[in-house]
């Protein structure tokens, strides 16, 4: 099992990475504030920069393709409500709302 490092405005926390759960779900589970409203990929309040470990994450979803510009995705931005860990590995993400 790897580690998930979450950078927020309130600071940085590292937790155990769990496959099959989204960044927003894991943050809520560990009482880490990670802005979100809809959890469906519509509001983009959970806009997230993948700093490290993209290879351990699921592919970009259709919701992300609709909500985020191609240039944003190329820079490593995803939606925290859509990102799921699909394999063991260390992942670092940063909450970067608009």
pLDDT (tens digit per residue) in 13-56: 999 999 999 999 999 999 999 988 888 888 999 999 999 999 99
Statement: residue 3 has pLDDT above 80: yes
Residue 83 has what pLDDT? Answer: 97
Largest CA distance in the chain: 32
Provide the CATH number for the domain around residue 48: 3.10.20.30
Q: What are phi and psi of 75, to 5 degrees?
A: -80, -10
Q: Residue 24 sits in which domain range?
A: 3-95
Per-residue model confidence (pLDDT) at position 72: 98
Domain count for the chain, please give it: 1
Alpha carbon distance 4, 22 (integer Å): 11
50 contacts 91 by C-beta, under 8 angstroms: yes
Query: Which two tokens mark 83?
Result: 């990102």
- The pLDDT value recorded for residue 28 is 95
Beta-bridge mates of residue 79: 47
Question: What integer pLDDT is reported at residue 9 of this predicted model?
Answer: 93
CA 55 to chain centre: 13
């Amino acid at each position: 099992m790897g580690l998930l490092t979450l950078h927020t405005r309130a600071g940085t926390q590292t937790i155990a990475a769990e496959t099959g759960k989204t960044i927003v779900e894991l943050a809520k589970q560990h009482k880490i504030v990670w802005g979100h409203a809809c959890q469906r990929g519509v509001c983009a309040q959970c806009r997230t920069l993948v700093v490290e470990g993209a290879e351990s994450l699921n592919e970009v979803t259709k919701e992300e393709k609709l909500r985020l510009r191609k240039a944003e995705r190329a820079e490593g931005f995803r939606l925290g409500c859509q990102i799921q860990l699909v394999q063991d590995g260390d992942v670092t993400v940063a909450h970067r709302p608009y």
